[in-house]
Structure 1
Amino acid sequence: MFYFLLVINFFSFIIYRADKRKAEKHERRISEKKLLAVSLFGGTLGAFLAMVIFRHKISKTSFVLKFGCIVLIQVVFIYLFENYS
C-alpha cells in the first residue's frame, strides 16, 4: 500500500505540474475530471503540494471545492476503516 501511495502521489504531482505548464503555454489542458480522479484514487497529497508549489487551480473556487470534497471523503473513509476493521 505504501508504494502504491508513493507512486500515485508522485504521478499526481507530475500531472498537475504538466497541466500548469500547458496552461502557461496556452496548450490543450488535462481535464479537471482526470486531475480530480487521480486525487480521488490516492494522489491527494501530491495534488495538494503541486497546487501550492505551482500556484495551480487554487484560485478556481469550483475546483477547490471539489478537491475539498475528495479530501473529506478520504478522511471519512480512513476514519471508518480504522475504527471498524
Structure 2
Amino acid sequence: MLLINVIGFVFMLYDKQSARKSIRRIPEKTLFTFAFLGGSAGVFLGMLFFRHKTKHITFTLLIPSLTAVHIIVYFFIRNTLF
C-alpha cells in the first residue's frame, strides 16, 4: 500500500512538472488506475501538495471519495483479520 501511494504521489509531481514544461504528460487514465488500485491517498496528497488537477471536477470528486473508501476498507480489513 505504501509503495503504490508513493508512486501515485510521484506521478502527480512528474505530471505537474511536465505540464509546466509542456512535455509529454502522464495520461489521466493512468493516474486514475493507480488511485483505484490503492494509491488514492498518494494521488490525493499530490493533488493538494502540488495544486495539480484541482480544477478537474472528476479528480476533485472521485479521488477524495476513493481515498475515503480505501481508508474505510483498510481499517475494516485490519480490524477483522487482526
TM-score range, shorter chain: 0.7 to 0.9
Displacement of 1:73? 4.7
* Letter in structure 1 aligned against 2:35: S
Structure 2 equivalent of residue 66 of structure 1 = 62
Residues 1:27 and 2:19 are matched in the alignment: no
Q: Please give the per-residue CA displacement for 1:20-47, whole angstroms capped at 9, x wherever unaligned.
A: 0000111121111100110111111111
Displacement of 1:64? 1.9
**Cα root mean square deviation, aligned:** 2.0
Residues 13, 50 of structure 2: 8 Å contact kept = yes
Structure 1 equivalent of residue 50 of structure 2 = 54
Alignment TM-score, normalising by the size of structure 1: 0.75
Ranges in structure 2 where 5+ consecutive residues have no aligned partner: none
Aligned-pair identity (%): 33
Alignment length (residue pairs)? 81
Ranges in structure 1 where 5+ consecutive residues have no aligned partner: none
Question: Matched residue of 1:63: which SS?
Answer: helix
Alignment TM-score, normalising by the size of structure 2: 0.77
Structure 2 equivalent of residue 9 of structure 1 = 5
